[in-house]
Chain A
């Protein structure tokens, strides 16, 4: 029985359950007013009993069944296949599954494989019918129990609302689970990486060349995982981005909040925000195909040797992307500066520029710094622009005309394409991800703290 069919039957059953619960409650009394809750609540009570246990079991079953089948199939495989290393065994099992499902198989179908596939198909179909039967049985059991429980004393409304509240609370826990999942998966994989490469080598090593060897005797087989060049590259590109974004964003914000007529402001602000809404892959394309060649040709015309994937191109385009973050965050804090301060300054005869420089800007400074920190964290975590426009090779340099690589670029290159999941190479990506997560998290916490503290001052 397919999952879709089970769901359809459950749906039909639940409508029936709602109606039955309602009718049953009404049949107990002469008039609906004699019930302690609206009749609909009795319907919902039965409905919840039908749906919730069945859905929970169905979900768990769908997750667990493939692993149980896999274990069953592996147990029946010949010993020489069973003892393959984990990743090759995985490939073999993939083929077994594909053969069982009638898909294309990447190897010769020998009798062993066919036997395993038959085995797979048998277990799969058995599991499927067991699943359907069990889930529906559970739904029917829930239905009977709930209908029986209905009597004049049942506080259906209380029960139903409590269940709803628990469901809502579960929804709010998803955010926590996500964070937990991120931390656990990053820490776990990074820990496995640090068992092979010492933490100090990773954090302070000056050489990054993550190619692991295919053969043991290959040149450079060791692979070097010193991430300093990546950190420097990331800092350099983010720095260039901030050099572009901070002045432009800040001055635009000052113009819009201090000088611009309301009409100008109401068109310019959304237009600036369009910059933030453009997908980063578009910026990446623009950087790689338009800005980088342009910078290169300009550099050549003045006699500079510019790499075609220069840090300058990626950084400058990233800066453009960040302008709206800086401008809208600083706009908020600048407007939060009380009018009285401005008017006092203007009343003493200061010009607008003097007011901005000597009164508004210092008053808004903590908030602006917080906004800039958020922008930096954005720049550090930005991926597509650098993947498309920055270099791939780790290059420890501060020259903005040379190609450098960043943490995010390396994560992407390490994880795209064919990979064995256990190699130090793929695990290194998670270690880099952990560093990225911690750094951006730290920046955000500091920034939010600064912004909040500042806001309280004037409230």
Chain B
């Protein structure tokens, strides 16, 4: 009997057959919503049963891109992303180093580190909302007992202050994630390079900056990409702690999308916003990969 397919073709067929079910599921749950969002974004449509849709082409996009609220919100979101991810990386690296040096009780430290990360974001937000409460919050209570303030401070009543406090709550929640990734990466690093460098007279700082940090780059890349994308789309912690207030001071781009789509019912405009967010996130991921990713390192 003559074979219909060559061996290589058979392998390819089997390979395709095996990934087909998961491919269908992925297409169903990610591509379909993306396409229908794109479809909705070219209409001016309000919400409702059997509501009419008016085709506006890229009208929603041009309206958004020429709206100052959009750009102010993008700026605010970038501030949130840069400050929170930046501090998370520095703190996460420091904690990973600390655990890696195996101080007494390091196993306990590593385990308890999971707790903030394991708390659901909504619960985390509610907790910080209480901590920040001006009249019965723990933060005012603590600072007053330490003698650092002489009367309670209304924390969430200034836009800039509220934004920084939301960032603090986000850092508390996310530092463990970065610390754990980097700690795991540190544990797998070869020690011979650093030992050789030490023999050659490199001091601790040089060994860290010139050997350890470059070796950690792939792990840092993973942590940064995941956290940046998450931070740029931040929503729930803001919804719970400030509801976007005061005076829109904590309205990020995802929050604006939520307001437009679910509160105001401007489905077309909201869809266009979601699409723009996706494009911004893709650009950021692309930049990271171009800057940090070296294929020759990940063999």
Q: Do A and B bind each other?
A: no
* Chain B residues packing against A (C-beta within 8 Å): none
